[in-house]
Amino acid sequence: MKKLMVLSSVVCAMLCLCACGSSSKKLVMATNAAFPPYESVEGNEIIGIDPEIAKLIADDLGRELVIEDMAFDSVIAAVQTGKADIAMAGLTVTEDRKKNINFTDPYTEAAQVIVVKEGSEVTTPDDLEGKTIGVQIGTTGDIYAEDIKDATIERYSKFFEAINALSQDKIDAVIVDREPGKVFVSENEGLKMIDEEFTVEEYAIGVAKENTELLDQINASLKKLQESGKIDEIIGKYIKAE
């Protein structure tokens, strides 16, 4: 009897060690935290809409959220190679990306917009023809810019670098997501956003193709969070209605 008890406590301890130490308990999120209000660095914390939604999902799944900040054009590869469980980076759903990863149901709508200097001759998307356009590498803005006739594309690793180049007249316009665009315009004097949206998009969470169990779990979680109004609450905290 005594032997059995010793044995069972050893087994218990081992189980606990495995469960507590294993990475399966973590939910690793790949992001690029230079994209306010979706994700940005504040002090030594990553804040924004995406980390807050991810935290609620992780809580719901009983997992510990770990955020890995990296280059935007690495977030999909991070999920594909298993370095991260999810890619959540204001990530637009595209047919091309669907070849490499699965997307959850979208959690918000988005758009690409054009930011220019006040007084710019660019007043509609058509005016971008022949212009020098700044984008963040690997974003949908980068992809759309490729279709603009005679345009020169300047690719930056972070959006704010493109915004700085615009302020310094090194480029004519920046194609960026609407809400981050609004933040950049409000933080940099002399810039404005063109009213006409370039494209309308949706953001979703990227999950590895083979990880369909996680995909289903996150979709179930997202549904609950949407129904309870928690997602709208988080978005409303960061994006004020006009």
Binding site for ligand ARG (CB under 6 A): 31-32, 34-35, 39, 72, 89-92, 136, 139-140, 177
Q: Is 18 exposed, middle or buried (0-12, 13-18, 19+ CB in 10 A)?
A: exposed
| Cα dihedral sign, 209-142-128-165 | positive
Instruction: Give the nearer residue to ligand ARG in terms of CB position, either 56 or 204.
Output: 204
Q: How near is the Cβ of 17 to ligand ARG at its closest, in Å?
A: 36
Q: How near is the Cβ of 149 to ligand ARG at its closest, in Å?
A: 22
Instruction: Give the nearer residue to ligand ARG in terms of CB position, either 36 or 122.
Output: 36
Q: What tokens does 242 get?
A: 């006009």
Q: How near is the Cβ of 210 to ligand ARG at its closest, in Å?
A: 22
CB within 8 A of 40, min separation 6: which ones?
33, 34, 46, 47, 48
Instruction: Give the nearer residue to ligand ARG in terms of CB position, either 52 or 177.
Output: 177
Instruction: Give the nearer residue to ligand ARG in terms of CB position, either 84 or 89.
Output: 89
Instruction: Give the nearer residue to ligand ARG in terms of CB position, either 158 or 224.
Output: 158
Pairing verdict, β 132-136 and 173-177? parallel
Half-sphere exposure of 43 (CA within 13 A, CB side): 2
Instruction: Give the nearer residue to ligand ARG in terms of CB position, either 61 or 111.
Output: 111
Q: How near is the Cβ of 219 to ligand ARG at its closest, in Å?
A: 19
Q: How near is the Cβ of 220 to ligand ARG at its closest, in Å?
A: 24
Q: How near is the Cβ of 15 to ligand ARG at its closest, in Å?
A: 38
CA separation for the pair 33, 29 (Å, rounded): 11
CA separation for the pair 211, 84 (Å, rounded): 12
Distance from chain centroid for Cα 43 = 19
